[in-house]
């Protein structure tokens, strides 16, 4: 029997299942790959926000990675919420130990309700330890602003930020422009920089507040398409289509912000109950 294409997702558990590891696994599966998971933290979370976080010890994060990679292996790895410096350091160590090349870093820093998902020391460790191992890093505009210490007000600023982050060691930089001023009128634009060329990816703006899990889903889909052998520009193109559809068919299971739905139209998208 042929082995499936494997994607290892490393990040926090979202008990509402809209983001985090749960969103990663949904996206990886929807994009035709087999998802593996390493949990870095547990969250008490619902549609109204993150209410508490419980850290998994770095030694156990390392143990999870060793057990999975020594047996099943991975064609790509995607990281999300890493929380603390010690976790980042062991994840970086295991990436090097197992010679993982298709490394997608989603620098998850702050939840939509403002809850800090990455401590200050961890933010520095992410830039110093993990970024140089990244095949691609996928910051949104607030994350890119933190990494570059500069405000991003336009597409030209996005390109400059992408170049600055590339110079920190990542092989490719994808800046997601959903927070860019004017996006609601002009549509969303993402910028990919590979060290030589800029690639632009545009999509019409979808007027919904139900966007929980967009970053996780986008990055996980990207990891899946890279694992399947697509080129970076093509993988980003398919991931952009995937996340746009997931936002279009988003769902609202609770009283707060709803979640993207990577499986598209179907039972989850129907309103009401039978």
Torsions phi, psi of 112, nearest 5? -60, -25
Catalytic residue among 40, 79, 214, 242: 214
Alpha carbon 30 to its chain centroid, in Å, reads 15
Catalytic residue among 9, 31, 33, 216: 216
The answer to whether residue 84 is catalytic is: no
Torsions phi, psi of 234, nearest 5? -70, -35
Strand ranges (DSSP E) for the chain?
6-13, 34-46, 49-55, 76-79, 103-105, 136-137, 173-176, 188-193, 198-203
Catalytic residue among 40, 211, 242, 244: 211
The answer to whether residue 211 is catalytic is: yes
Catalytic residue among 20, 177, 213, 258: 213
The answer to whether residue 195 is catalytic is: no
Q: What is the CA radius of gyration of the chain?
A: 17
Catalytic residue among 178, 215, 242, 258: 215
The answer to whether residue 176 is catalytic is: yes
Torsions phi, psi of 213, nearest 5? 95, 5
Catalytic residue among 176, 217, 240, 258: 176
Catalytic residue positions, numbered: 176, 211, 213-216
């Amino acid at each position: 029997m042929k082995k499936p294409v494997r994607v290892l997702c490393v990040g926090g558990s979202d008990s509402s299942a809209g983001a985090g590891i749960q969103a990663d696994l949904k996206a990886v599966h929807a994009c035709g790959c087999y998802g593996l998971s390493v949990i870095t933290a547990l969250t008490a979370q619902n549609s109204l926000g993150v209410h508490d976080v419980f850290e998994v010890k770095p030694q156990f994060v390392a143990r999870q990675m060793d057990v999975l990679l020594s047996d099943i292996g991975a064609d790509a790895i995607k990281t999300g919420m890493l929380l603390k410096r010690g976790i980042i350091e062991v994840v970086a160590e295991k990436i090097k130990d197992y010679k993982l090349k298709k490394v997608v870093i989603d620098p998850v820093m702050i939840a939509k309700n403002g809850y800090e998902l990455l401590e200050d020391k961890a933010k520095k460790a992410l830039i110093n330890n993990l970024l140089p191992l990244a095949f691609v890093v996928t910051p949104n505009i607030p994350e890119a602003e933190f990494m570059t210490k500069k405000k991003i007000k336009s597409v030209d600023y996005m390109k400059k930020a992408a170049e600055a982050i590339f110079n920190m060691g990542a092989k490719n930089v994808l800046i997601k422009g959903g927070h860019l001023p004017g996006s609601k009128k002009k549509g969303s634009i993402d910028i990919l920089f590979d060290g030589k060329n800029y690639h632009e990816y545009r999509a019409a703006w979808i007027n919904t507040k139900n966007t929980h899990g967009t970053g996780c889903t986008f990055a996980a889909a990207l990891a899946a398409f890279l694992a399947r052998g697509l080129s970076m520009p093509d993988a980003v193109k398919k991931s952009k289509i995937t996340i746009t559809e997931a936002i279009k068919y988003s769902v609202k299971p609770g009283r707060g912000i709803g979640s993207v739905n990577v499986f598209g139209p179907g039972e989850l998208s129907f309103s009401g109950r039978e």
